[in-house]
Amino acid sequence: MIICGSLTRGSSCRHTQLLTALNESVKIVLIDFHTHSTASDGVLSPRELVDRALARGVDQFAITDHDTMAGYLEARRYYTQVEAQMMLVPGIEFSCRWSGVTIHIVGLDMDCQHPVMVAGLDRLGQARRDRGQKIAEKLEKLGFAGALAGAQALAGDSQLGRPHFAAWLVARGHVEDVGQAFDRYLGQGKAGDVKAFWPELAEVTHWIVAAGGTAIIAHPLKYKLTGMKLRRLVVDFKAAGGTAIEIYSGRQTRDQVSHLQRLATTYELQISGGSDFHRDGPYSADVGIELATPEGLRGVWGGWTRALRGGALT
Ligand SMILES: [Zn+2]
Ligand SMILES: [Zn+2]
């Protein structure tokens, strides 16, 4: 440790210059390209999420709500009024089907007005509304009148789903709690278990890429695929135009990161990462992960075309 006792405020010496240089060389940069707001199933509003990222000192940031860009768009409106250097990148996380498994694909830096993206999102929105209607019809047949309007009111700006029907059943006193609502009426095999529509992996990848964005396989180890199946996923994803994979996700172990790093190297994928933050909790990572680019790999954070700094006019 270097101690320099002869300094007065504002002065400098070789030691402090050295310390400054050392500090700069170890400066930790935080990024986060995977977070959720109240526009899907997160608990912080898009504004609160931007504020959290700023408070944490995140340098590049994306809100990636499930099947909607509403969270990003609201965050962008807010962020144009905030003077800050953090880059806000357009983001989304699509659910899709691949080989009998539900896979999540994150899209970053897309043009959200692009007709292919708009059409894709419209289709998902319509499918979600149709599903809500079907769930409501099933519940009404069981004698629960007003389920659709009730669940919609609870959903507010977020996307209507089974949790809102469950909350409505609780609020009306039909069940004791959300768990009971699922056990009796909404869970697997029950009357209100209407299957969701998910597009194919190749479709959502195409939507992202056609809109000028980067498609990324989200949290690749969460699907619990065998090594062979994970490699097949990567091959199919690349064939559809996908170019990147999350090697950092939430609270992964070092071994898991190394495993994904090798996969990225083998298949020449760009790397990405994010906390997958939904809410504060004992098992969830906070917003912001340390930026690291292992040798020989390239991060998605190289060249955004639609990222925005605070206070910028759009
Ligand atoms: Zn996910
Ligand atoms: Zn997520």
Q: What is the pLDDT of residue 12?
A: 44
- The CB-side HSE value for 205 (13 A sphere, CA atoms) comes to 23
Distance, in Å, from the CA atom of 202 to the CA atom of 19, rounded to the nearest integer, reads 51
* CATH of the domain spanning 4-121+197-313: 3.20.20.140
Query: Ligand 2 is a single-atom ion; what residues have CB below 5 A from it?
Result: 93, 276
Q: What is the pLDDT of residue 270?
A: 97
The ligand minimizing its distance to the Cα of 92 is: 2
pTM above 0.75, yes or no: yes
For the chain, the first-to-last Cα distance in angstroms comes to: 48
* Domain ranges, ordered by start, for the chain: 4-121+197-313, 122-186
Q: What is the pLDDT of residue 143?
A: 92
- The CB-side HSE value for 253 (13 A sphere, CA atoms) comes to 5
Cα–ligand 2 centroid distance for 145 (angstroms): 33
> Considering the domain 122-186, what is its CATH architecture?
Orthogonal Bundle (1.10)
Both tokens assigned to 123: 């289709």
Query: Ligand 1 is a single-atom ion; what residues have CB below 5 A from it?
Result: 104, 218
Q: What is the pLDDT of residue 13?
A: 47
Segments of the chain scoring below 70 in pLDDT: 1-26, 313-314
Cα–ligand 1 centroid distance for 93 (angstroms): 7
Say if residues 274 and 246 touch (Cβ distance below 8 Å).
yes
Q: What is the pLDDT of residue 21?
A: 54
Both tokens assigned to 148: 């659709």
Both tokens assigned to 93: 């996380």
Q: What is the pLDDT of residue 313?
A: 59
Q: Please, what sign has the CA dihedral across residues 30, 114, 43, 277?
A: negative
The ligand minimizing its distance to the Cα of 277 is: 2
Cα–ligand 1 centroid distance for 98 (angstroms): 14
